[in-house]
Amino acid sequence: MTRQDDHTDRDRMLVQRALHGDHSAFRQIVESTEALVAQIIFKMIGNYEDKKDIAQEVYLKVYKHLPGFKFQCKLSTWIGQIAFNASVNHLQQQKIWLPVHPDDFGPPEPYDSDAGFGIEKREFSDILAREIDQLPPLYKTVITLYHNEDQSYAEIAAIMGLPEGTVKSYLFRARKTLKDRLLFIYKKEQQ
């Protein structure tokens, strides 16, 4: 039995129990997917209250549509799709533009540090996190799902409703943009 089969069997068991009124099974579904849902929503949505509302909306949709889940993908991937679509819908309703090209957003914010000390590991982590947060929402989501949530290209493609090649392209562009922005900061540090 493969790891995928283990996931599928566990998913089937949880879904069946939840559909038969077992609230602890639905709670297990929520607990096993809340980190993924949070990563998606929190990388795409800026307003804290909106983030909470969208997360609640996601799990209401999961509960409502759980009888229609056909196990064509992992349960977490399906829930990730719901979270991504809810986030995109919210941004569209707010008339927030989703830039995906590096030229569509500005240069990195200036970074001040103690001169002569260079960038320490902790400092670098902080700078990297800040620069990831400056990426367009789609890039930020792709890079977070791939590197923080260990999702495969196929899983990210399924979550975001994009071709796998587009996911790879977005990930490449996000990494290149981060690299360029970090080099810019590093060069400013060296001056």
- The residue among 86, 73, 91, 181 whose CA lies nearest residue 129 is 181
The model's pLDDT over 57-93, given as tens digits with 9 standing for 90+, comes to 999 999 999 999 988 889 999 999 999 999 988 888 8
The answer to whether residues 130 and 169 belong to one domain is yes
Domain ranges, residue 84: 3-93
The model's pLDDT over 32-63, given as tens digits with 9 standing for 90+, comes to 999 999 999 988 888 888 888 999 999 999 99
Q: How many domains does the chain have?
A: 2
The answer to whether residues 30 and 55 belong to one domain is yes
Burial class (CB in 10 A: 0-12, 13-18, 19+), 36: buried
Which domain CATH number covers 83?
1.10.1740.10
pTM of the model: 0.69
The answer to whether residues 62 and 111 belong to one domain is no
Could you give the CA distance from residue 112 to residue 119 in angstroms, rounded to a whole number?
11
Query: Could you give the count of Cα atoms lying within 13 Å of 164 in the half-sphere of its Cβ?
Result: 5
CA 56 to chain centre: 17
Domain final position from 93, 123, 145: 93
Q: How much is the pLDDT for 185?
A: 77
Q: Match 């949880």 to its residue by tokens.
A: 14
